[in-house]
């Protein structure tokens, strides 16, 4: 059986099609990975918020007292500049 040789144009077209398919597959993997990452980060943030709220409740301090405490660091940092 004689084997026919592909023209350089046909070979190039096949390589382009394969490269496009590779890019599409890579984008799907990337999109999935970023969706998983976002979900995990959202879960972590929710846990952190719960921990902060729990610590605030346990401290017995009022909202104003906590905000004043947090703002003192900002004010002191600005005066040192």
Determine what percent of the chain falls in helix, strand and coil, rounding each to the nearest 5.
85, 0, 15
- The band of 76, judged by pLDDT with boundaries at 50, 70 and 90, is low
Q: Tell me the average pLDDT across 27-43.
A: 98
pLDDT of 4 reads 63
Residues in the chain: 81
Is pLDDT of 79 > 60?
no
pLDDT of 67 reads 85
- Who has greater pLDDT, 27 or 56? 27
Q: Tell me the average pLDDT across 44-71.
A: 88
Q: Tell me the average pLDDT across 29-53.
A: 96
């Amino acid at each position: 059986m004689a084997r026919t040789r592909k023209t350089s144009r046909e070979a190039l077209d096949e390589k382009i099609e394969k490269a496009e398919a590779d890019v599409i597959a890579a984008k799907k993997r990337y999109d999935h990975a970023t969706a998983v990452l976002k979900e995990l980060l959202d879960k972590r943030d929710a846990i952190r918020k719960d921990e902060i709220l729990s610590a605030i409740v346990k401290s017995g301090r009022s909202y104003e007292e906590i905000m004043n405490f947090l703002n003192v660091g900002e004010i002191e940092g600005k005066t040192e500049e």
